[in-house]
Copies of this chain bind each other. A is one copy, B any other.
Amino acid sequence: MADHGGEFSAVGKSFPRLEGFEKVTGATRFLTDLELPGMLYGKVLRSSFPHARIISIDTKRAEELSGVKAVITAADTPKIPFCIIPRVANKLPLEDKKVRYIGDEIAAVAAETEEIASEALGLIEVVYEELPAVFEPEDALKPDAPLLYEEKGTNIAEHFHKEYGNVEKGFQEADHILDDRFETSPVTPCCMEPRSCIASFDGSGRLTLIANTQAPFSLRQELSKVIPLPIKKIRIIKLPIGGAFGSRLGMDSIDPICAFLSRKSGRPVKIVNTREEEFVTSRYRYRMAIHLKTGVKKDGTLVAREAKVITDNGAHNYQGYTITAGLCQKLTFVYKIPNIKFDGYVVYTNNVYGGAFRGYGNPQITFAAESHIDMIAEKLGMDVLDLSLQNIVEPGYETISNCQITSCGLRECLIRAADATGWRQKRRRPGRRGIGMASMQHAGGGIKIFFGNINCNYSSAAMKMNEDGSVNLMTGSSDIGQGSDTVLAQIAAEELGIRFEDIRVTTADTDLTPMCLGTYGDRVTFVGGRAVQSAARDVKKQLLDLASEILEANIDDLESREGRVFVKGSPEKGISIPELAEFSYFKKGRPILGRGIYDDPISKPDYGTGYGTSPAYSFASQVAEVEVDVETGKVKVLRITSAQDLGKALNPMAVRGQIEGAMAQGIGSTLFERLDWVKGRTLNSNFLDYRMLTALDMPAVEPIFIESIDPNGPFGAKGVGEPALVPTAAAIANAIYDAVGVRIKSLPITPDKILAALEEKNSIYKR
């Protein structure tokens, strides 16, 4: 991707969010604010048992309640299971024969008010036959465990096995082998806006679903299958969205339920999750048990790695398999390790089912892997910085999992993060303060996905330049709060040579905007950005053609910058873009329309898992500084220094926001956050009991941007949304070890775990 000689006018600048003013003044209308004429309110009856057979459902009394306009059960639906990975779909919008977790959808009501709908739920009589349940994956694997899906004969939803190189031989070459078990907890994204949707049908039976979604076009596909309705009979509209973080990538049961209610009642229906429903039913980050074995030579050369991961899949399939299988690819990164073996087991339990949450498995595996690196360095008596620098991947390297590293600033990340923190001075100093480091890689431009018939990684954009030279940009990319609309506008402005303020962005309405596969895998800046850039080039070509005629200059000698097209080297010989646009519209009779598509030519599919490779990888190294109170076990994070290889910081302020936001989630999930499940029941289903990081807990965050200028990213950029929270848990765990010498291998690292570890350590010393 040719750049503009390094001098940019729109990219690399900290423009405030396009929607920022409206958001901070409270003017933004979210889905929950929306009322359609004649709209009803929907409520969902959910299972109160973790595992039970549904014997009967009697909705008669609910139907008779005044104000109730529709009551539905599975009998009112075609009972087509859904899953974002269609091959393994086993969740019904409304469950039919069995419920498998506390929260499983059984029936739903649409009524004139929310209160009537809630009252009606209480009038639905469900007779259950309770079944034995299982909540721990290890228990679920036992031969006598109750089966969630009897017909499957096992609770193993999927098993993924892969070996690169020869692991046995690798371990034989190792001088040291470390073998440890790590555990992570279920953490939930806590979106400020509860999941919600509004369904309505027009006279032709066409469904419009206004939804919280990161991927309107794949939601259209998912709905299409389960309602069922042809694609052309569905419109998905995404409004401004109050948080997503991966959890709104795929369809939720409430989406089709809302549609079924609307169809039955003949009225628009809105469903808004209660906060409790958010906590009990959201796609949370899967909890995993990770057995990790790493072999290293005395000189620090990493020679072999073996991992066995058990993922708690919960009651239904969603993304457990791709996330678990994807961990294998992640293990082939950061360091060059020639021999890697991976076994991932995705196991059904009677817990709620999880999904994607910022990092897509990476926070879990990186906690294990980067804790291990710290332990190995300790074992070898090396500084972990040196061990890392000795083994890290470099630009041009192809991993044994066939990932092409086009750009990589990891070395600089490590060095700059260490320099910025005074790493070598602070490391291994006495006292309660400690410093820890961890690194990571993450897909920086989406991944090639292969679900069913999809085998690509693309986006597309349409553009219109108005007669005043301003631009309407239309893209299917979903801004889910990460600021992609703003960055896409910057890319368009830069490419066109016009002002950022002159771009107007419309995103994510399946009737209006070109298709984008969705917001995931840190792909919008890269893939969506390239599509926008391509559309802008298309428009620019039309401007240059016209300017070439007016200025009597060769098109190749023209440049478009700062709102003007001019002859390179003779900036006085030029014409303003508004003049060009006006001329085109009113003298030439040529409206200016552009389009762009970008399907990355680099990434490769993985037909086995559906989780392929990325066209670019982002890297980061984080240094955490902590203070541990050995009396209370409390950890205070003093500072996080996060060196991020993001290719190019297209909007430094937005990137800083991404990193700060990720830090809040990264530290929270390291130290506090966990869904407390007891026999399948979520005990902390509110913000009082579910402990998020607060402003008071937030340490100083020092982002360092490493601009490795990716050869394929728009103006060199790679994704930056997910990486910043990936290495945080390991960095903090390593810093805790540096501070007080205890190694905590399970998340969250709560005071009781530290106290127990300190006690054990002391008792060992005492012995």
A557 at interface by CB-CB < 8 Å:
no
A139 at interface by CB-CB < 8 Å:
no
Instruction: For A585, give its contact among B515, B585, B589 (CB under 8 Å).
Output: B515
- B231 near A468 (CB under 8 angstroms)? yes
Considering the complex, which residues of chain A in the window 557-600 have a beta carbon less than 8 Å from any beta carbon of chain B? 582, 585-591, 593-595, 597, 599
- A590 near B599 (CB under 8 angstroms)? yes
> Across the interface, which residues of B come within 8 angstroms of A587, CB to CB?
453, 455-456
Nearest-neighbor residue (CB-CB) of A600 within chain B: B589
Q: What's the tally of chain A residues with a CB closer than 8 Å to chain B?
A: 51
A466 at interface by CB-CB < 8 Å:
yes
- A512 near B593 (CB under 8 angstroms)? no
- A591 near B586 (CB under 8 angstroms)? no
- CA–CA, A457 and B472, complex, Å: 22
A375-396 vs B: 1/0 string, CB under 8 Å?
0000000000000000000000
- CA–CA, A462 and B582, complex, Å: 20
> Across the interface, which residues of B come within 8 angstroms of A597, CB to CB?
589-591, 593
A21 at interface by CB-CB < 8 Å:
yes
- A512 near B474 (CB under 8 angstroms)? yes
**Given A457-B589, A599-B590, A512–B512 Cβ distance below 8 Å?**
yes
Report the stretch among A5-13, A25-33, A685-693, A728-736 that lies at the interface.
A25-33
- CA–CA, A532 and B577, complex, Å: 27
**Given A231-B466, A467-B231, A590-B597, A203–B22 Cβ distance below 8 Å?**
yes
Considering the complex, which residues of chain A in the window 510-524 have a beta carbon less than 8 Å from any beta carbon of chain B? 510-512, 514-515
Nearest-neighbor residue (CB-CB) of A599 within chain B: B589
**Given A27-B202, A203-B25, A589-B458, A232–B595 Cβ distance below 8 Å?**
no
A267 to chain B, nearest CB (A): 11
Considering the complex, which residues of chain A in the window 497-531 have a beta carbon less than 8 Å from any beta carbon of chain B? 502, 504, 506, 510-512, 514-515
> Across the interface, which residues of B come within 8 angstroms of A459, CB to CB?
591
> Across the interface, which residues of B come within 8 angstroms of A22, CB to CB?
202-203
Nearest-neighbor residue (CB-CB) of A450 within chain B: B586
- CA–CA, A25 and B458, complex, Å: 41
Instruction: For A506, give its contact among B472, B511, B582 (CB under 8 Å).
Output: B511
A499 to chain B, nearest CB (A): 10
- CA–CA, A515 and B590, complex, Å: 10
A3 to chain B, nearest CB (A): 25
Instruction: For A589, give its contact among B456, B511, B593 (CB under 8 Å).
Output: B456
A55 at interface by CB-CB < 8 Å:
no
- B29 near A514 (CB under 8 angstroms)? no
Instruction: For A512, give its contact among B454, B455, B472, B595 (CB under 8 Å).
Output: B472
Considering the complex, which residues of chain A in the window 437-480 have a beta carbon less than 8 Å from any beta carbon of chain B? 453-460, 462, 464, 466-468, 470, 472, 474
Instruction: For A462, give its contact among B232, B453, B462, B466 (CB under 8 Å).
Output: B462
A230 at interface by CB-CB < 8 Å:
yes
A204 at interface by CB-CB < 8 Å:
yes
- CA–CA, A588 and B588, complex, Å: 36
- B231 near A460 (CB under 8 angstroms)? no
- A33 near B37 (CB under 8 angstroms)? yes
> Across the interface, which residues of B come within 8 angstroms of A588, CB to CB?
456, 599
> Across the interface, which residues of B come within 8 angstroms of A474, CB to CB?
512
Nearest-neighbor residue (CB-CB) of A224 within chain B: B468
Nearest-neighbor residue (CB-CB) of A587 within chain B: B455
- CA–CA, A599 and B586, complex, Å: 10
> Across the interface, which residues of B come within 8 angstroms of A504, CB to CB?
232, 511
> Across the interface, which residues of B come within 8 angstroms of A466, CB to CB?
231-232, 510, 515
**Given A593-B595, A595-B593, A586–B232 Cβ distance below 8 Å?**
no
> Across the interface, which residues of B come within 8 angstroms of A25, CB to CB?
203
> Across the interface, which residues of B come within 8 angstroms of A230, CB to CB?
468, 470
> Across the interface, which residues of B come within 8 angstroms of A585, CB to CB?
456, 515
Most buried by B among A25, A585, A590: A585
> Across the interface, which residues of B come within 8 angstroms of A514, CB to CB?
464, 591, 593
A209-237 vs B: 1/0 string, CB under 8 Å?
00000000000010000000011100000
- A455 near B591 (CB under 8 angstroms)? no
A389 to chain B, nearest CB (A): 38
A232-245 vs B: 1/0 string, CB under 8 Å?
10000000000000
- CA–CA, A472 and B514, complex, Å: 10
Instruction: For A472, give its contact among B202, B467, B511 (CB under 8 Å).
Output: B511
A496 to chain B, nearest CB (A): 13
- A453 near B582 (CB under 8 angstroms)? yes
- B591 near A232 (CB under 8 angstroms)? no
A590-627 vs B: 1/0 string, CB under 8 Å?
11011101010000000000000000000000000000
> Across the interface, which residues of B come within 8 angstroms of A232, CB to CB?
466, 468, 470, 502, 504
- CA–CA, A714 and B25, complex, Å: 50
Instruction: For A27, give its contact among B203, B456, B593 (CB under 8 Å).
Output: B203
> Across the interface, which residues of B come within 8 angstroms of A456, CB to CB?
585-589
A-B contact pairs, 14 of them (CB 8 A): A27-B203, A29-B37, A221-B467, A230-B468, A232-B468, A453-B587, A454-B586, A456-B585, A456-B589, A462-B464, A462-B595, A588-B599, A593-B595, A593-B597
**18 additional A-B residue pairs with CB within 8 Å, beyond A231-B467, A462-B464:** A22-B202, A221-B467, A230-B468, A231-B470, A232-B470, A232-B504, A454-B586, A455-B587, A456-B586, A456-B587, A456-B589, A462-B462, A462-B595, A466-B510, A472-B512, A515-B591, A590-B599, A593-B597
Closest 8 CB pairs of A and B: A589-B599, A232-B470, A456-B589, A21-B203, A460-B591, A231-B468, A593-B595, A458-B589
